[in-house]
Chains A and B, each alone.
Chain A
């Protein structure tokens, strides 16, 4: 496969959030603002790239029967590493994302990519695949966070936009209902876009 399409497919055609609907929980929970969404996405990207690379490196020595447990250990290790690093150096973001950092380990994209891609391809392709998918995820979360932030608190990346006069924004968008609504309409939009191209 061409490395470029390999890299870009995660953006639109196979966008993990809006098309494949993987990792819906973090997508809903952590997108209260653009930074949070992006942060979560990048953390996932890190895990994805690293675990894809490592798995493709060791794929040949892993016996079939312990494939899944081995993958889980590898992935979980990277998740723990991200968790520790963020706690140490990005404490504010870490506390915002909370429980959803350890939950990266069960995010379907990570294990799914390991199974479907990294276990069959070389290290470079796997890393690129991970990066593409991860960035697709991160951008998706970032956009969703951005929309919710603009509508919900009238700001983007923390910058106040003063859109709504006497109120900051429509609070529903930073709360649970807004997450579902924005997600729903974004999925629909990507449906349409993908059909058009």
Chain B
């Protein structure tokens, strides 16, 4: 078709108009599910390391030693009663790059469960810290970190390191320790609902 300024404007305007309409409609349509999916993902991650809950509160907390980025606390409660806290924590001692871990504590400070959130460790080695790849991290379940020596056996602790991935194992421990320290320090003011 021959182009003239008017028909160009009309056509392009029309197309963008329709596209805009369609897109925004689509956006409205998917807004809720996307939000839900996002929430679901977080919720699942939290649910995995905490008891069943119906409410959640998000708090940002500085690490106990005051060094580095802050941690995120998800304080969960069931029927108005705080039942535990999931802590999203990190470490830089991983094999490569920052290593994010989430760990759930019950109100007494015992580990309920823990898992990897995000990592750049080597597939097949460091990623065995992920519960989806191996059950290595079940060894922390139910441990009271005030008694449990959160160190790999090589360093005189009680943690069985992943074969050939001591570094990742150590990093995981480091992340848990950071979470635990912050949790204990803040427990007083966070136990209140």
Contact = CB atoms under 8 A, between A and B. Distances in A.
Is A in direct contact with B (CB under 8 Å) within the complex?
Answer: yes
Interface string A61-91: 1111110011001101100110011011101
A64 B12 contact: no
Nearest to A62: B11
A63 B23 contact: no
A62 B16 CA distance: 13
Grouping DSSP codes into helix (H, G, I), strand (E, B) and loop, the A interface class, with mixed when no group exceeds half, is helix
- Main secondary structure on B side of the interface with A: helix
Interface string A39-73: 00000000000000000001011111110011001
A37 to B, nearest CB: 17
A68 B165 CA distance: 52
24 contacts: A60-B1, A61-B11, A63-B1, A65-B3, A65-B8, A70-B11, A73-B12, A74-B15, A80-B23, A80-B26, A81-B22, A81-B26, A84-B27, A84-B30, A85-B26, A85-B30, A87-B30, A87-B34, A87-B37, A89-B37, A91-B40, A171-B122, A171-B123, A171-B124
A101 interface: no
B33 A89 contact: yes
A153 B128 CA distance: 13
Nearest to A60: B1
B188 interface: no
Contacts of B60: none
Contacts of B81: none
A91 B37 contact: yes
A197 interface: no
